[in-house]
Amino acid sequence: MESAEIARRFLRYFSERGHLVVPSASLIAEDPTLLLVPAGMVPFKPYFLGQRRPPAPRLVSVQKCIRTPDIDEVGKTTRHATFFQMLGNFSIGDYFKEEVIPYAWELLTTPQSEGGFGFPESKLWVTVFQDDDEAADIWHKKVGLPRERIQRRGLKDNYWHMGVPGPGGPCSEIYFDRGPEYGREGGPVADEDRYLEVWNLVFMQFQLGEVRAKDDFDVLGELPSKNIDTGMGLERMAAILQGVDNIYEIDTTSRILNRAAELTGSRYGADPRADVSLRVIADHMRAGVMLVADGVIPSNEGRGYVLRRILRRTIRNLRLLGAGDERYMHDLTETTIGVMGDLYPELKTEAARIHTVIDAEEASFLGTLRTGTAIFDAAVEETKRAKGTVLSGEKAFQLHDTYGFPIDLTLEMAAEHGLTVDEEGFRRLMKEQRERAKRDAAAKKTGHVDASVFGEMLEKAGKVDFLGYELTSAEANVIGLIKDGASVPAAGAGTAIELVLDRTPFYAEGGGQLADQGVVRTTGAEIEIHDVQQPVPGLIVHRGTVRSGEVVVGDQAHAEIDVERRRAISRSHTATHMVHRGFRNFLGESAAQAGSENSPGRFRFDFTASGAVPDSVLREVEDQVNEVLIQDLQVNAFHTSLEEARAMGALALFGEKYGDEVRVVEVGDYSRELCGGTHVSRSGQLGLVKLIGESSIGAGVRRVEALVGIDAFRFLARESVLVSQLSDQLKARREELPERIETIVTRLRAAEKELERLRSAQVLAVAGELAANARDLGGVSLVTHRAPDGTTADDLRKLALDVRGRFPGDRAAVVVIAGVPADRPVVVAAVNPAGRERGLKAGRLVGVAAKALGGGGGGKDDIAQGGGSRPEAIGEALNAVEAAVREALG
């Protein structure tokens, strides 16, 4: 049975039993404390916590999941994976154990010909929590499972909670006996390799207080409404139903693995090391494609860092299989889209965008490998020079963080040089970085406040009504105040607070649009609002400072936004939509939005592209957008179903969350997007759009910055004044300026080259004199010289080599030249072969000089360079070199 059919049967079974089929949520977690969705129940967490009302009491889904804590183990075993799919049925205060246990048994044991999975009843075992007599009795008395195949386990194995105060309860796990060839008898408690877990049924029936560990928590009492949460791993089910040993041999993963083997000339099962690489590639390709499809872009932080690491581990393992600089990611991406497209049709419609992002990351990393290898070689040389055998954790982290080197690559290359790596130090730095990223991700939405405070307020007060599409001011009631992370009844003048109203015209930051600012006035206070966020869906929180008086929960309030600021932001937001459409028109549909920021009078727009956008395309997009502005098209916003919006061609931005009902914003027939932001009413209100720059912000992602309205006009006015000034100074008409400036620049560059040649010749002219005046130190000719200030480091090096070359081959010679190219001193030492035979080494002598200069340096025994921060100490440095030579010669 194919994976897609397993998912279809699961959804159909529960749909026929009154469950609402919920599409998989994005891998981008809505929970600000999570980067990515790690479990099938995460999207349903707000329902279990009572923060939101579920769309139905019975739900069923196939949820995409990503887990990366064990990413280094992927491939080494056949159990670990980063991407997986979780089948789950959920009851929010509806049915409980009496119904969910028979549901699970029926679906598993019903013959395949009748729509079930066809498991032999004799092959199934279950575990229950040690004190859960109720579940054990249902399994035995209602289902008919023999008691000897019902095993009891403790808190660590058969009790579930979220790790924080909230709902929790016992669980019952269902296992499939794969047979004696896989291990010993005795059920799951004896051998979980033979007895493979296929389904976990969680019974949320208790309210937990403090949670200290998996098996250490306080139970406050029973929940008033009991819930069910189940999870069945699709990949594990596929392995059983397809009769293969592990998840890498199932229909989806194996096709990617086999394609990687074909491309690299490998064969799975022939070499254990190659098998590890093939498994990494197969797993990571699925994870990478699914993350890009959900709007994640490779970067050095947050979710983007997870994606970058996954893609670069894939590329690294392709190289280990002999791929070299060959680019195979496009082919593997195509295979992955073909494999997963049945369950996730959006992969096929977004194939071009997915290819663009992954192809660009591959090209970037192959270049990075070349650069990073040079940095690695320097680190190895530095370690060996210091007589060390361990590459520092800081250096390994720098290679990883700055140059994208996977740690396994650093470990392998270090081993080739006879070195080890301080892995503990590396992982400590990685952990610190992850914790910073996690804190930063949550801080923007929650303001460093425990998100449970917002959840409790939403539960008590309900969803806040947003009035800002029609109104810029409104009457409201103060329903909550938060100060320093805690709910308070009142706040006085000078207090920084977070204010919750029952209705508001203030737009909360989202969809790339900055938050509104303004003032909230109550009968006894005035609060200046500087930021507005939505830390949990449905709750709009106004952040500000009480300027005067005292605000009290329950007060009536008048909320008023800064209208001019809103209008300027709305112009930017509408312009962003139009520029997005323009780039798609000229670059193709793969030019998909990857981020934006709409500020007053200006915006930035990020989009996927394989390379720099030609100036001609930028001009064409700008011209087209401004032509649309002149047409003064009507801007309409309306609500419809997600399906209807897609049918009419509305663009959905990946990484955004959409419900069943969506808001569509259209600019005439030119642009149509799903968007919750604020906009102008007619395109002519934008006045003017001016693109002012285009650049790369990461592999496969470009950024355009632009000005709108009066800001664009002022920019062009300043440009016009500047052009007029240049025209006057150069005595040329405006249209002649490019040619005239090019001529001047060409002449200037030629003059600079001639000056450089003359200056270099002047510096090198003293080489003969320096050699002739060398001091004799015990049979060694020593030259120490300070070059004129401004002499380049390259010329200092040339002079040192020139002087060294003037000594006979049998005459030991040491040449040390110092100078100040800019504001920092540089020293170069050169030692000929005869000098090196006397034990004199350029690297050590430069180190002596650089230390006197307040810096450091090094290099090879024959030529070395260093520097410092004390130009006034050059004489001292040269004297230190002479002393070091004398000491070396005894």
Q: Which residues are annotated as a binding site for Zn(2+)?
A: 573, 577, 675, 679
- Contact (CB, 8 A) for 576 and 493: no
What string of H, E and C letters represents the secondary structure of 617-665?
A: HHHHHHHHHHHHHHCCCEEEEEEEEHHHHHHCCCECCCCCCCCCEEEEE
Q: Dihedral of CA 438/444/449/452: which sign?
A: negative
- Contact (CB, 8 A) for 743 and 718: no
State the Cα–Cα distance between residues 805 and 767, nearest whole angstrom.
Answer: 10
Give me the DSSP letters along 257-306: HHHHHHHHT--TTS-HHHHHHHHHHHHHHHHHHHHHHTT----SSHHHHH
Q: Among candidates 186, 202, 188, 13, which has minimal Cα distance to 101?
A: 202
Distances (CA, A) of 794 to 800, 821, 860, 869, 874: 10, 9, 17, 19, 18
| One-letter amino acid for residue 369 of the chain | L
Q: At CA 18, angle to CA 16 and CA 22, rounded to 5?
A: 90
What's the token pair of residue 265?
């000339």
H or E segment and range at residue 758: helix 737-764
Cα 18 to chain centroid distance, Å, stands at 38
State the Cα–Cα distance between residues 526 and 547, nearest whole angstrom.
Answer: 6
DSSP, res 613: P
Burial of 117 (0-12, 13-18, 19+ CB in 10 A): buried
The residue assigned the tokens 């299989």 is: 321
Q: At CA 614, angle to CA 612 and CA 617, rounded to 5?
A: 125
Distances (CA, A) of 683 to 310, 631, 635, 686, 832: 42, 8, 7, 6, 74
Number of alpha carbons in the 13 Å side-chain half-sphere of residue 652: 23
Strand positions, DSSP E, 157-258: 159-161, 166-177, 195-213, 216-233
State the Cα–Cα distance between residues 500 and 541, nearest whole angstrom.
Answer: 5
State the Cα–Cα distance between residues 644 and 113, nearest whole angstrom.
Answer: 36
Buried b (16+ CB within 10 A) or exposed e, 380-393: beebeeeeeeebbb
Torsion angle defined by CA atoms of residues 693, 696, 700 and 703, in that order, rounded to the nearest 10 degrees: -40
Long-range contacts of 438-444 (CB under 8 A, 24+ apart): 438/33, 438/35, 440/301, 440/302, 441/32, 441/35, 441/302, 442/32, 442/33, 444/533
State the Cα–Cα distance between residues 688 and 622, nearest whole angstrom.
Answer: 10
Residue ranges of the binding site: 573, 577, 675, 679
